[in-house]
Amino acid sequence: MVNEKKQGKPTVEELLAKAKKPALIAPSMHQFYEGKVQVMPKCAIRSIDDFAIWYTPGVAAACKEIQAKPEKAFELTNRWNYVAVVTDGTRVLGLGDIGPEAAMPVMEGKALLFKYLGGVDAFPICLKTKDPDEIVRACELLEPSFGGINLEDIEKPKCFHVLEKARERLQIPVWHDDQQGTATVILAGLINAFKIVGKKPQECLITLVGSGAANIRTAYVLIRWGVKAGNIIMVDTRGIVHAGRTDITREEDPWKYELAQKTNAEGRTGDLAESFKGVDAVVAASKPGPDTIKKAWIKTMADDAIVFACANPIPEIWPWEAEEAGARIVATGRSDFPNQVNNSLGFPAIFRGVLDVKARTVTDDMCIAAAQELAKFAEERGMDERNILPRMDEWEVFPREAVACALKSIEQGVARVKLSRQELYQRASTIIQNAREATELLMKHGLIKKAPPEDKLLK
């Protein structure tokens, strides 16, 4: 501990205390505000007489237009900007199966990020069922009210089934952030990390530590982007995933089974330590550390190694320990370390883009377009080993990312409307700025109450 202090590094005790602080404050803050999102009017109310336009009798004329042409719901209502954040509460953050009621604070938080970062009106939908087909059916029943569905915190492998079936049956974008969102930001970070170390991703070995929803979708997105499937090595709690594993079956987990057949071309076997040997990059989305990943393992990696230790609240290995072991670039899921891999860089802008063109679906190619724009933004504003990704406070990245997704939607023929790059950028910028400025205005005028001092919340 003394050595850490001399080198200007926080002690483990200080880091743990910092990691625990938000949890100590959160219950009091949630109780103080009684939730995090609300519904506000967006139309002018000049007098009570305007209700004759917005409600009966005038509203009937709008209803008749939609009855004649259902697609007009995207023009005459706010459906074009509504997203349902749907969960069954079976895999919430690091808490696991806590149920739909307990999942509500997380879904509200997701809705808050949607609005502030992407200008998207999102609603928490916590379902009292664990049946995957019932979840899909619920999404179908909700479709007339929403422009998109964000699946959240649904356990594996059920989450793959729900995503696949809902995408087949619905004519609006369906997205699972734990899969596609994580994969998008990981890809963005890897694009720039490989640029900095001067390696070609197509020729590199990449180990994915953890074979949950995040890394399984990351594998598919990396392959779609151009990484050779055989150059990816996946690891789960039983060791390296390979074609000879009899415990991975098509019936129980078809997505993991498929990857077991196409990844790991060299047929590597063994434990987690074996998966590090000679690889160029490791992406971990597994058990929180510290010491889930050992320094000794990183020392066996190739030169100029890349390590993404994404577990929260404690990464699988402390960043400085990974660097001391030889890693040239290290990323984590935390904002107080360099290179935060944060889903919030992805989903608000991706939905902004697909909603603005009223897309019928969201594809992995759109995730790749978003990742490339994130990487490009960081490269253009300047990047180095400790600064490979945009930060959440760099709001200018969100309209750019939205445009990239919208243009990909148009290119793939799934957009209901076609706008130019400039029109899309202006639209996204305006909507996102309005959301941020509206929040600031409500705070300024006391319509959002001022938060109590932290010392009172900690009592």
Active site residues: 55, 110
Burial of 230 (0-12, 13-18, 19+ CB in 10 A): middle
Is the CA virtual torsion 345, 350, 351, 352 positive or negative? positive
Helical segments of 97-245, H only: 100-118, 132-142, 158-169, 182-197, 213-225
- CA-nearest of 63, 57, 94 to 76 is 63
Q: State how far Cα 36 lies from the chain centre.
A: 19
Contact 314, 157 (CB under 8 A): no
Dmax (CA) for the chain in angstroms is 75
Q: How far apart are the C-alpha atoms of 224 and 24, rounded to whole Å?
A: 42
Q: Which residues contact 422 (CB under 8 A, 6 or more apart)?
A: none
DSSP string, 180-208: IIHHHHHHHHHHHHHHHHT--GGG--EEE
Q: Which residues contact 271 (CB under 8 A, 6 or more apart)?
A: 239, 240
Q: State how far Cα 152 lies from the chain centre.
A: 10
